[in-house]
Amino acid sequence: MAVPFPTDDGAFFRDQEVAVAGNNDEAVEEALFLTRFARRVHLLVPTPELKASPDLAAEVSQHPRVEIHLATRLREVMGEQQVEGVRVVPRGGEEQMMPMAGVFIYLQGGNQSPTFWTATSRRRPPRAGLSPPSEMGT
């Protein structure tokens, strides 16, 4: 698990499932970029609708490799030595675990969070069982 720049590591996720958490232009752009490599990109949107620009929202909504999860809060990035999945809670639904190879987290306000975890990194986080920042609606 690590903290590198997401777009630098897209190729590490060839034919794997990844998650992007956020609802702004940067999160949507990252999700679209990752479709070049990943088998499936899960866009975890903490609000009931995307706050990305209309053009980007339309493009990501129509992409066959992107699955959008509206009103879904990221609760935890799971894994000991590497990312194994995420724990999410859809609004009005039950908490669930989704297996993932990597997680890309984008904060509100158009700022990329330095928080990014992958299954391929050599660096370890300061502790296991990492939780997302409070800005993601947890």
Q: Over the stretch 8-54, which tens digit does the pLDDT of each residue have? A: 677 888 999 999 999 999 999 999 999 999 999 999 999 999 999 99
pTM of the model: 0.77
Q: State the Cα–Cα distance between residues 116 and 125, nearest whole angstrom.
A: 10
Query: What are the CA-CA distances from residue 79 to residues 30, 72, 111, 129, 137 (Å)?
Result: 22, 20, 25, 7, 21
Q: State the Cα–Cα distance between residues 102 and 19, nearest whole angstrom.
A: 6
Give me the chain's average pLDDT, please. Answer: 79
Q: How big is the chain by its Cα radius of gyration, in Å?
A: 13
- Going by their DSSP bridges, the two strands 102-106 and 66-69 should be labelled as unpaired
**From 3.40.640.10, 1.20.1250.20, 3.40.50.620, 3.50.50.60, which CATH number describes the 6-126 domain?**
3.50.50.60
